[in-house]
Structure 1
Amino acid sequence: MPEFPEGLEWLNTEGSISIYKDLCGKVVVLDFFTYCCINCIHLLPDLNALEHKYTDKDGLLIVGVHSAKFPNEKVLDNIKSAVLRYNITHPVVNDTDAILWQDLEVSCWPTLVILGPRGNILFSLVGEGHKEKLFLFTSVALKFYKEKGQIKDNKIGIKLYRDSLPPSPLLFPGKVTVDNLSDRLVIADTGHHRILVVRKNGQIQHSIGGPNSGSKDGTFLESTFNSPQGVSIKNNIIYVADTENHLIRKIDLETEMVSTVAGIGIQGTDKEGGAKGEEQPISSPWDVVFGTSEDSGDDVLWIAMAGIHQIWALMLEDGKLLKKSDLIKGTCLSFAGSGNEENRNNAYPHKASFAQPSGLSVASEEPWNCLFVADSESSTVRTVSLKDGAVKHLVGGERDPMNLFAFGDVDGAGINAKLQHPLGVTWDKKRNLLYVADSYNHKIKVVDPKTKNCTTIAGTGEASNIISSTSTESTFNEPGGLCIGENGNLLYIADTNNHQIKVMDLETKIISVLSIINSETAVVDGPFLEKQKTIKLPKLPKSSPNVKLSPLTVSPGQSLQLILRLDLPAETKLTEGAPSFWFLTAEVGQDENILAQSSPLPKKHGQFHMLSQRDTTLNLLLIQKYFLMVTIFRSILFLYNKNTFKIFIFRIMIFFFCFFHIRFFPLIIIEA
C-alpha cells in the first residue's frame, strides 16, 4: 500500500495521517466512497457497528477515502457537510484527484480495502451488503496479528468537525411541503431527525421526533425518526419518507400520534413488493407524494425508493394500478423501474430503470397526467405516465442508458440541458411549469415540459448563502427540496447545506429566508428569533409626506429589505458621532401592527418581519428639508456664539418651532 500523498485534506483528525507512522500496528479499513451514492450511505451503519465493536485501542481504525463522482463533491466544505449529515466520526481524507483510487485500482463505489499492521493489503470488498464478511475478516485479522504481537493500542488524534458546528433551528433540511388548505408548512428537519409543522410566518406548531435518531412510534414526544426526507400532507395527515429507518411513517395531527405504515425497519432488497405495508421491506425511501389510482383520487402514496432505484406505490385505499387486479388498502409494491441503476426509458414501466430517484411531483391534469422524477445519479428529470406507466426522458443526461456521468450545468432543451445530481422537483399547475432543485449546481431551474426547455431562475452556481435583490444573484448550497404555495405565487426551497428554508416570489423573483420562530409548546433545539412585539405607532398629521410602494406578494415570515438613501443639499452633511436610528411603519391590516425599528447601530437598512400579503404603505419624513432646517438654525446660532443670553433665546425658539412642526414625524437620524 503506497503512503498517503502529501497535501491531502483531512477531516475529523488533528492533522494528516501517515500509513507507516500513525497506522503502523493497526488493522485499517479504507472505505472508498462518494457522499452522493446511496450504496455508500447503506454501508455506513455497518462501519458504525464495526467501530463500536473494535476501537483503535483494540487495533482497528476506519478511514474514509472520499473519491468524488461529481465535481461538486471534490470541494472540502461540501464533504464536511456530508460528514456531519451522515454522522461520520472516523477520519476522512479528500482524495480530490482520485490518486488513492487509482493506486489501489478501485473501480466501484463503495469499495472496502482492509490493510494489515504493516500497510499490507489483506483483501477487499466491493459494493454493499457484506457485513458478515467484513466482521469475520476483521476479527480474524485482529486475532492473528495480536497473537504475533504486531498490534499496537496507540490512539489516533481525533477532532470531530461536528463539535465546532454552531446550534441552528434547522440542520440540513431535506424537503419541504405546503398545506394549501391551511396556513402551514411541513419541514423535514433531517439533521435533527424530526418533522416540523410551522405556520407560514415561521412559528413552530409541532416538533415531532429528534434530536436523536430512532424508529419509535407513539406520541409526538415519544416518536423518533432517522434522517427523514420526503413529506406530504393532506387532511391533517402527514406521510414521511423515514429514509435511514427504511420506513414510511404516518403522522396524525389530530390525535398527535406517529405510526409506521410501510417497511420493517431493516433495509430491504425486494424489488417487486406486494405485501401489506408494515410487512413489506423497503429501501431508503427519499420522497413521497399523493397520487390517484384508476378508481378514485389521492388514494395512492407514490414513493421514490432511492435504495433500489425504483418508484413504488402504497395503497391508501382499495384500488387498482395499471389494470392490475384489485389491490387492498395498505399494499406496498413496485410501480416502475427494474431495480438496475441505469438511465433507461421504456414504454413498459418494469423494463425502465432509474438511478437513485430522489424527488417526486405529480401533474394529474391533462395532457400531462404523470409523475415527474428527479433521478439524481443520472442527473436527469424523467416522467412516468399515470395512464400506462411509460417512462420517458425530459431533460438532462444522455441517450446511453449506462452512462451515469452525463452531468453539467447547461441551460437548454431536452438532452442538451445538463444538470448535476438534482434532488427535488415540484409542479406549478398555474403556469404549467416544473421547478427543479439542481442540487450540486446550487441552482433552481425551471422546465417547460411542452418544449423541454430548461433554464436557470435562481442561483449563481456558487455554493454560498447570499440574499440579493435578484434571484440570479442569490445563492444556495445544495438545495434538496422545493414546493409551490400561495396559489402558485411562492416557491419554498429547502436550502439544505445552508440550514434554511428560503422563499422565492415567482412574480418578482425576490428571495428571502423564512425565519423559524419557537413557540411555547414546541420542543426545539437552537436559537430562535423572538416574537415581534406590538409597538404603539405614532400618529402623523394630514400634511405628512407619504411614499407608497408598489404592492408585493409576500408570505408571512418573509423578510423585506429596505435601503434608505439620503439626498442632502450641497454643503451639508450628517453629524459625525451622533446616535443613529431609523424608524419605519407599515400598514398591513386592521388587526396587525407592523413596525421596523433599529437600535443605535451603524446600519443603513433594516428588516420587516411577519408581513402579510397586502399593500404596504411606508411613511417617511422628507429628510432633505429637515436637515436643511437644522443646518440653518446651527448657522444662526454660530452668529450669536458670543452672547449666552441670545443663544438661550434661540434655543427656546428652535425648541417650540420643532415641537409644533415636526413633533408628529418619526425621527430619522441616519449615520453616513
Structure 2
Amino acid sequence: MGMASQSRVRAPELAGAGWLNTGGARLGISDLRGKIVLLDFWTFCCINCLHVLDELRPLEDKYRDELVVIGVHSPKFTHERDARALAAAVERYGVDHPVVNDPDLSIWDAYAARAWPTLAVIDPNGYVVSTMAGEGHAQSLDRIVGDLVAKHRDDGTLVEGPGPHVAPKTADTLLRFPGKAIRLPGGTLMATDSARHRLVELDADGGSIVRVIGDGERGDRDGAPDVARFSEPQGLCVLPATVAARVGYELLVADTVNHRLRGVSLETGEVKTVAGTGRPWRSDVDFHAHDALATDLSSPWDLAWFDDRVVIAMAGVHQLWWFDPTTATTGVYCGTTVEGLRDGPVEEAFMAQPSGLAADGDRLWIVDSETSALRYIENERIHTVIGAGLFDFGHVDGPSAEALLQHPLGVAVTATGVVLIADTYNGALREYDPGTGEVSTLVTGLAEPSDIVPGETEPLVVESAAHRLVRPEIERRAVGGRRERVVRAATDIAPGKLTLRVVFEPANGEKFDDTFGPSTRLAVTADPPGLLADGAGDGTDLERELLIADGHEGGVLQIVAQAATCDSEAVNPACHLTRQDWGVPVRIVDGGPSTLTLMLRGAEPDDRGASND
C-alpha cells in the first residue's frame, strides 16, 4: 500500500502569527530539514484534538531524537484566536512540543485541512508523505515514523538529536487551571486541580488548602492520597449517604484523560477506580448495561446525581452515559455519537461535547460546549433552551430563543430554580430564568470560568485561567449584538448530484475488521437539513451519492466516518477504530466539482519510503 505512484508534495511554509514552546524562535520548513515532522492541526476547544495530544505522547517519547511534533493551532471560536488564551491552553493541556499560532487559518488552508484534528507527516527532505484526520492513528503513525527513520537513517538524510522544544516556566499559584468544584457535606470545597493532576480540598471560601489527594504527577494509579495519580481530572459528584455507605466511597471523580471514574473516600482520601478500562471508547452505540470496570469510557467531563444514578457528560463521544455505583454498571443514556444539535427522544439526540451538568428535580441541565448550547432532559427527552448549532455563537442576552453563548463549560441551579451558566469563552457568568425565559449577564471579565458552586447568597465561580475560585460581584446587565459564526473557507460543489468519497486505507500490517459488524460506517446530515434532497442518514459504504436540493446557495455538510481494522499477522490481533466528524462548509456554484473527497487516512510510504516526484 505504498505511495510509489503518487506525486510528492512539498510541505507548505509554516507562516503563523507566533510560536510557543520554542524559546521565542520562529521555525520554518528549512529549519526542520533532516527531521521527521508531524503537524497536528488542532484547536483547544476540541475534545478529539485533546485525545490526539494524549495519543502522541508515547510517540514523542519513543522518537524523541528523530521526530518533531508541531501543533498548528487553527481556531474555531473567537476566544481561541487570542494568543494569551492559546498560551494558557498549551500549559493547561501539557503540550510539550512547539506550537504555531494560525489565527487566520492560513496554514490550515495551505495544507488543505478540513477537520479538527488533522495530521500531516513530513519526511526529512521536506515532503508531505501522509495525511489523516481524526483520532485513533497512534499505531499507524508509529509504523510510518519507524519506516521513515529506517529509510532516512540508511540514506544519511536523518538528523538525530534534540528537537526545537523549549519548556516554558510555570507560575507558582494555589491551583493551576482548576476544572470543577463541589461543596462537600462538611462545608468545605473540593476542586479538581486539573493541570496538576490532583484533587484539592479548600476551606469554605476556596482561599486556602485543607488537603491534597494525588501526588501531582500525571498518571493512572489507585491508592492512598499521597500515592494516587490522575490525569487532568474534571467533574465531581457527592453520592447520597445511603449509596456511599454501600459502596465505600463518598466522592466520584471524572478522571478525564484516563477515561475512568475514580471513587474517593472522604475520610481516608483513598482512591480506587470504579469505571473504565483506561482505553478510550471506540465501539458501536447500544443502550444496554455493561460491567463498569470492563467498559471503555471517553473523556468523562462532568458528573451529576440524577434519577437515582450518576449521569456522566461523556464529552469525547458527544453523549451522556449513566453509572450505577451499587451495581457497578454503566451504559449510554443520551445521544447517538453524531456531533450536532438535535432534540427529541434521548436515544435519537445529537449532542456536541457536553461539558457541564446540574440536576434540578425532574430536569437535568446540560451545557453542550461545541454548540454553545444550554439544554435539559425531562421525561427521557432533550430540549434546547439556548443554542443555534455547531457554527453559531456570540454574547447576546434577552429571550432564550435569541440568546447566544460561546463554548460554555459549567452550569448550576440556584435554590430558586434559576440556571447559572459559566459562559467560558465569553468570560462571563450568565443567568437563565425558566420562569420568564430571559437570559442575562451577571458578571463579565472572568478568565475562562468553567464551573459554578451555588451558595445561599452569591455563587462561587471556578475562574480556571486565573487559577482560583472567586465570589464575583454581581452586576446584572443586558448584553446584545455580538453574533458570530465559525468562518472557514467554503468548498465549491456543483448543484444536483454530488459524490461523497471518504478515503481510508488500513495501515501497513492491518486489515478491515468486521468481527463486531460492518467495518465501516458513514453518517451524513446537513445544515440546513433541507440542503440534502437525498443521501442523508447512516450507511456502511464510505462512498455515497448525495443530491443537493434546489434553492440553496450553500450550507454545511456534517459527515461522520469510522473504520474498524485489526492487525493482519498477529496471533492475538489488536483491533483499532478510526473515527472523524467533519463539518464541511459548501458553496453551490454552477460548474463546481461534483465529487467531495475527505481523507480519513491516506496512503503510507512503502517499505522503501520511496515516492516519485
Give the TM-score taking structure 2 as reference length.
0.72
Larger radius of gyration: 1
Q: CA deviation at 1:158?
A: 2.8
Q: What corresponds to 1:169 in structure 2?
A: 174
- Residue 407 of structure 2: which of 421, 434, 454 is its match? 421
Distance 2:16 2:55 in 1: 30
User: 1:32-111 maps to which residues of 2 (within 5 A)?
Assistant: 32-55=41-64, 57-58=65-66, 60-111=67-118
What per-residue deviation string (whole Å, max 9, x for no partner) do you get for residues 631-668 of structure 1?
A: xxxxxxxxxxxxxxxxxxxxxxxxxxxxxxxxxxxxxx
Q: What corresponds to 1:159 in structure 2?
A: 166
Determine if the alignment matches structure 1 residue 491 to structure 2 residue 459: yes
What one-letter code is carried by the residue in structure 2 that aligns with 1:193? H
Task: Report SS of the residue matched to 2:31.
Answer: coil
Q: Is the 8 A contact 2:16 2:100 kept in 1?
A: no
| Cα distance change on mapping 1:316 and 1:158 into 2, 3 Å | closer
User: 1:344-493 maps to which residues of 2 (within 5 A)?
Assistant: 344-346=342-344, 348-364=345-361, 369-385=362-378, 387=379, 389-396=380-387, 398=388, 403-428=389-414, 430-459=415-444, 475-485=445-455, 487=456, 489-493=457-461
Q: CA deviation at 1:290?
A: 1.2
| Cα distance change on mapping 1:395 and 1:98 into 2, 3 Å | same
What one-letter code is carried by the residue in structure 2 that aligns with 1:376? S
Q: What corresponds to 2:271 in structure 1?
A: 258
Determine if the alignment matches structure 1 residue 133 to structure 2 residue 140: yes
Distance 2:355 2:20 in 1: 27
Q: Is the 8 A contact 2:16 2:107 kept in 1?
A: no
What per-residue deviation string (whole Å, max 9, x for no partner) do you get for residues 58-106 of structure 1?
A: 3x21111000000111111111111111111111000111001111110
Q: Is the 8 A contact 1:395 1:413 kept in 2?
A: no
Q: Is the 8 A contact 2:11 2:127 kept in 1?
A: no
Q: Is the 8 A contact 2:14 2:29 kept in 1?
A: no
Task: Report SS of the residue matched to 2:52.
Answer: helix
Deviates more, 1:253-262 or 1:125-134: 253-262
Task: Name the structure where strand makes up a greater proportion of residues.
Answer: 2
Q: What corresponds to 2:195 in structure 1?
A: 191
- Residue 289 of structure 2: which of 261, 264, 274 is its match? 274
What per-residue deviation string (whole Å, max 9, x for no partner) do you get for residues 216-270 of structure 1?
A: 1122122111111011224471111110111111111124321111111111224
Q: CA deviation at 1:452?
A: 2.8
Task: Report SS of the residue matched to 2:153.
Answer: helix
Q: CA deviation at 1:431?
A: 2.2
Distance 2:223 2:164 in 1: 41
What one-letter code is carried by the residue in structure 2 that aligns with 1:245? N
Q: Is the 8 A contact 1:19 1:119 kept in 2?
A: no
| Cα distance change on mapping 1:182 and 1:126 into 2, 3 Å | same
Q: What corresponds to 1:144 in structure 2?
A: 151
User: 1:535-554 maps to which residues of 2 (within 5 A)?
Assistant: none
Q: Is the 8 A contact 1:274 1:280 kept in 2?
A: no
Determine if the alignment matches structure 1 residue 231 to structure 2 residue 259: no
Q: What corresponds to 1:342 in structure 2?
A: 340
Distance 1:345 1:226 in 2: 33
What per-residue deviation string (whole Å, max 9, x for no partner) do you get for residues 321-362 of structure 1?
A: xxxxxxxx222111111111111111x111001100000000
- Residue 284 of structure 1: which of 296, 299, 310 is its match? 299
5+ long unaligned stretches in structure 1: 293-298, 318-328, 460-474, 510-672
Distance 1:216 1:502 in 2: 31
Larger RCO of the pair (alpha carbons < 8 Å, separation 6+): 2
- Residue 314 of structure 2: which of 268, 293, 305 is its match? 305
Distance 2:462 2:411 in 1: 12
- Residue 122 of structure 1: which of 123, 129, 136 is its match? 129
Distance 1:506 1:332 in 2: 40
Distance 1:53 1:156 in 2: 13
Distance 1:456 1:227 in 2: 29
What one-letter code is carried by the residue in structure 2 that aligns with 1:13? T
5+ long unaligned stretches in structure 2: 1-9, 242-248, 478-613
| Cα distance change on mapping 1:260 and 1:18 into 2, 3 Å | closer
Distance 1:491 1:376 in 2: 21
Determine if the alignment matches structure 1 residue 215 to structure 2 residue 220: yes
Distance 1:312 1:5 in 2: 41
What one-letter code is carried by the residue in structure 1 that aligns with 2:391? F
Q: Is the 8 A contact 1:395 1:452 kept in 2?
A: no
Q: CA deviation at 1:118?
A: 2.4
| Cα distance change on mapping 1:336 and 1:394 into 2, 3 Å | same
Task: Report SS of the residue matched to 1:415.
Answer: coil
| Cα distance change on mapping 1:35 and 1:313 into 2, 3 Å | same
Deviates more, 1:92-101 or 1:142-151: 142-151
Q: What corresponds to 1:245 in structure 2?
A: 258
Q: CA deviation at 1:503?
A: 1.4
Distance 1:251 1:427 in 2: 25
Deviates more, 1:449-458 or 1:152-161: 152-161
Task: Report SS of the residue matched to 2:298.
Answer: coil
Q: Is the 8 A contact 1:2 1:103 kept in 2?
A: no
Q: CA deviation at 1:215?
A: 1.6
Distance 2:382 2:164 in 1: 51
| Cα distance change on mapping 1:360 and 1:145 into 2, 3 Å | same
Q: Is the 8 A contact 1:374 1:381 kept in 2?
A: yes
Task: Report SS of the residue matched to 1:250.
Answer: strand
Q: Is the 8 A contact 1:226 1:244 kept in 2?
A: yes
Distance 1:416 1:156 in 2: 49
Deviates more, 1:410-419 or 1:348-357: 410-419
Q: CA deviation at 1:46?
A: 2.1
Q: CA deviation at 1:370?
A: 1.0
Distance 1:482 1:419 in 2: 16
| Cα distance change on mapping 1:508 and 1:383 into 2, 3 Å | closer
Q: CA deviation at 1:3?
A: 4.7
Deviates more, 1:141-150 or 1:440-449: 141-150
| Cα distance change on mapping 1:15 and 1:155 into 2, 3 Å | farther
Distance 2:36 2:473 in 1: 55
Q: Is the 8 A contact 1:4 1:18 kept in 2?
A: no
Distance 1:451 1:302 in 2: 28
Q: Is the 8 A contact 1:491 1:505 kept in 2?
A: no
Q: What corresponds to 1:23 in structure 2?
A: 32
Task: Report SS of the residue matched to 2:453.
Answer: strand
Q: Is the 8 A contact 2:412 2:453 kept in 1?
A: yes
What per-residue deviation string (whole Å, max 9, x for no partner) do you get for residues 19-65 of structure 1?
A: 4421111211110000110000111122111111112x33x211110
Task: Report SS of the residue matched to 1:218.
Answer: coil
Q: Is the 8 A contact 1:20 1:118 kept in 2?
A: no
Distance 1:246 1:26 in 2: 33
Task: Report SS of the residue matched to 1:416.
Answer: coil
Q: Is the 8 A contact 2:215 2:227 kept in 1?
A: no
